Amino acid sequence: MKALAFDLGAGSGRAIVGEWTKDDRLVLTETHRFANEPVRAGRRLHWDILRLYHEVKLGLAASARAADGPIDSIGIDSWAVDFGLLDRNGDLLGNPVHYRDSRTDGLMEAAWQIVPKEEMFSRTGLQFLPFNTLYQLWAMKREKSPLLEAADKLLMIPDLLRYFLTGQTFGEYTNASTTQFLNASTRRWDTELLERFGLPSGILPEVAQPATVIGTLRASVREELGIPGIPVVAVGEHDTASAVAGVPAADGKPFAYLICGTWSLLGTETAVPVLGADAMRFNFTNEGGLGGTYRLLKNIMGLWLIQECKRLWDRQGVRRSYGEWAELAAREKPFLAFVDPDDDSFLAPAGMPAAIRAFCRKTGQPEPETEAQVMRVVTDSLALKARYVLERLERLTGIAYGGLHMVGGGIQNEALCQSTANAIGRPVWAGPVEASAIGNLAAQFMANGRLSDLAEARRWIAASIDIREYEPQNKNEWEDAYGRFVRYVV
């Protein structure tokens, strides 16, 4: 049995065929990989959605060719919060805007004048990030966007791609939970909240639960690609939901995870949302998970800082791979300076290395001079921020976690895994790299009945993959560094 996962990150996407082997293991084959490059056009930073859809079709065709035997189902996951609007004929209105676009600047704070922050949190359980769908829609409303006026349906990015493939419009639950207008407790759209902002609740699609079959490839796609009518499954379409499903915590005990990609997401799984004052103060979120769970987690700005440095240096002709940068950084003296990776100045700076130096200058620390020093400051700071967030997570849940599962592309940076183990003073269990794709595949196998639930999925994943353990080192040195680091947390 074979399932096909499309996993779209902010920097790249991939198509991965997952085969359920005769000895009940999962074997992955990457059949297509593509860049996801945002395009600035006119006033706005956009996602190149038709290019992405084109790549999905190329991935479908490549997977059909590569798989010997039929593909039994398809699922798509991507980053969250962003959306496209359809008009009443079902045509896409405009190009989805990138969440790092400036249209939402200052709007989150203004929104609290309309619905107080506390009320918003107790209803939606969602962290306050300036680009949540709510503020993006409100930005359109405030500038009297004709697109919003013409909109008949709002579809999040994976909903939209799934719509192109199947012709059906649903809003998948885990991703819907990132909009800040889904009620955390009832798991339904909070239409009243939207209406208080004068936003049209009639454009919201029916919510679909993850791990359910909700369509089949439409005739035009089948004909164009010469492939049969494969079922399309609503998976955990928020990539982070899929990644959490892909964490190989197989013993059924509570666990903490750190998903490492463009963003780092540190949290745990809970049965009920945690909506108290501390959760709001620490800016944790309760996003929807598979199997009726919640993802109590916090966003950390993550590898974005490293990716943006590399992008700039590449452009300046100082080209090195991520692996090379990590090695050079590892040779630098540790703890030269610290940054809070979550400082606003790092969200969308014109130049990341300059923003990092500016933070150090502003806080009276020595500035990293060389590229390798900049990388070192970022790596140390990401590891220390993980400890900071883990400790707050433990305060919220009252559970002491024995270690941290690290998953996602970022765990290929071994220095980051080791530094994180050092910073938290506990073991890190790293793997799998392709957690989102694996969680996506698991939801498909749950939809078709091969897996009964999330617990079984995790046992199956743990039996199929290799996990690398990092033991903490240099405890005293890191303890001391943490004491200095916390002074710079904003």
Q: How far apart, in whole angstroms, are the C-alpha atoms of residue 333 and residue 175? A: 41
- State the CB neighbour count (10 A cutoff) for residue 274: 19
Nearest approach, Cβ of residue 8 and ligand LFR (Å): 9
Rule CB under 6 A: say whether 31 interacts with ligand LFR: no
239 labelled catalytic = yes
Using the rule CB under 6 A, give the single segment among 79-87, 88-96, 161-169, 465-473 that binds ligand LFR: 79-87
Nearest approach, Cβ of residue 126 and ligand LFR (Å): 10
Nearer to ligand LFR, 82 or 371 (CB): 82
Nearer to ligand LFR, 173 or 263 (CB): 263
3-state helix, strand and coil shares in percent for the chain, rounded to the nearest 5:
45, 20, 35
Using the rule CB under 6 A, give the single segment among 83-91, 248-256, 262-270, 463-471 that binds ligand LFR: 262-270
Site for ligand LFR in 328-387 (CB under 6 A): none
**Across 9-65, where does the E strand assignment appear?**
12-20, 26-35, 39-41, 44-46
The type of residue at 128 is: F
Rule CB under 6 A: say whether 268 interacts with ligand LFR: no
Site for ligand LFR in 89-108 (CB under 6 A): 99
Give the 3-state secondary structure of residue 231. Answer: strand
Rule CB under 6 A: say whether 79 interacts with ligand LFR: yes
Rule CB under 6 A: say whether 239 interacts with ligand LFR: yes
Among 163, 263, 284, 335, binds ligand LFR (CB under 6 A): 263
Contact 401, 256 (CB under 8 A): yes
Q: Where are the alpha helices (DSSP H) in 71-116?
A: 107-111
Strand pairing of 207-208 and 264-270? Answer: unpaired
User: Distances from the Cα of 286 to the Cαs of 262, 329, 488, in angstroms?
Assistant: 20, 35, 26
Contact 176, 189 (CB under 8 A): yes
Rule CB under 6 A: say whether 286 interacts with ligand LFR: no
Using the rule CB under 6 A, give the single segment among 26-34, 103-111, 159-167, 261-269 that binds ligand LFR: 261-269
Rg of the chain over Cα atoms, rounded to whole angstroms, equals 22
How many residues of this chain bind ligand LFR (CB under 6 A)?
13
Nearest approach, Cβ of residue 368 and ligand LFR (Å): 27
Q: Which of 239, 340, 342, 380 is catalytic?
A: 239
CA dihedral sign, ordered 123, 128, 132, 135: positive
Nearer to ligand LFR, 227 or 243 (CB): 243
Contact 188, 179 (CB under 8 A): no
Reading the block at residue 130, the tokens are 């300036």
Nearer to ligand LFR, 4 or 8 (CB): 8
Nearer to ligand LFR, 256 or 451 (CB): 256
Give the 3-state secondary structure of residue 85. Answer: strand
Give catalytic residues, as residue numbers: 239
Q: Which residues bind ligand LFR (CB under 6 A)?
A: 9, 79-81, 99, 238-240, 261-263, 265, 299
